[in-house]
């Protein structure tokens, strides 16, 4: 997931807060996830304020009871580094939400897609990865085995209230 719409400025880039519209969009995205039956039991969230707030709104919207793992590394990660961070997920986690930044989240989603999933979702994802975009993937096996083109895209959604 790419974080929701943020305020244009802050003392530093990582201290930027969500705009009210971003909070509302993330609430809607959380409701959409819950309504679709995608209930996370793990969350990996960039340490930036706007990603933490996106997770908080997403969790509120979906009524998710997950304590997120905040990652300074995810804040400036390349797609390959973000993939390495996901591979470190504890095997007890069955559904993981990753909240990060573009272009990393868009590239990571494209790299994971094995091409066998939902064609409409694939077309939507290919047209862009705006704020509050979510790509939902399925995979088999342990997180440590996640690799390029090893997950099936099952849904793509852009949270908009």
Domain boundaries, the chain: 16-158
Better pLDDT: 81 or 12: 81
Q: What is the pLDDT, as a whole number, of residue 14?
A: 83
**CA torsion, points 82, 84, 139, 32, in degrees to nearest 10?**
-30
The stretch 130-153 carries a mean pLDDT of 97
pTM above 0.85, yes or no: yes
Query: Buried b / exposed e across 110-146, counting CB within 10 Å, b at 16+?
Result: bbbbeeebeeebbebbeeebebbbbbbbeeeeebeeb
What topology does CATH give the domain 16-158?
Rossmann fold (3.40.50)
Q: How far apart are CA 139 and CA 9, in angstroms?
A: 38
- Given a contact cutoff of 8 angstroms between Cβ atoms, the answer to whether 83 and 108 are in contact is yes
High-pLDDT (> 90) share of the chain, %: 94
Give per-residue pLDDT as tens, 82-134.
999 999 999 999 999 999 999 999 999 999 999 999 999 999 999 999 999 99
């Amino acid at each position: 997931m790419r974080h929701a719409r943020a305020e244009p400025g802050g003392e530093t880039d990582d201290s930027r807060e969500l705009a009210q519209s971003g909070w509302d969009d993330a609430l809607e995205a959380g409701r959409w996830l819950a309504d679709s039956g995608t209930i996370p039991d793990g969350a990996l969230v960039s340490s930036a304020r706007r990603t933490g707030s996106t997770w908080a709104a997403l969790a509120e919207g979906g009524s998710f009871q997950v304590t997120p793992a905040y990652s300074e590394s995810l804040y400036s990660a390349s797609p390959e580094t973000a993939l390495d961070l996901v591979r470190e997920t504890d095997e007890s986690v069955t559904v993981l939400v990753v909240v990060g930044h573009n272009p990393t989240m868009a590239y990571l989603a494209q790299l994971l897609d094995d091409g066998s999933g939902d064609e409409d979702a694939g077309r939507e994802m290919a047209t862009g990865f705006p704020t509050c975009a979510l790509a939902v993937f399925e995979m088999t096996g342990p997180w440590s085995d996640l690799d390029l083109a090893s997950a099936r895209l099952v849904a793509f959604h852009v949270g908009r209230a």
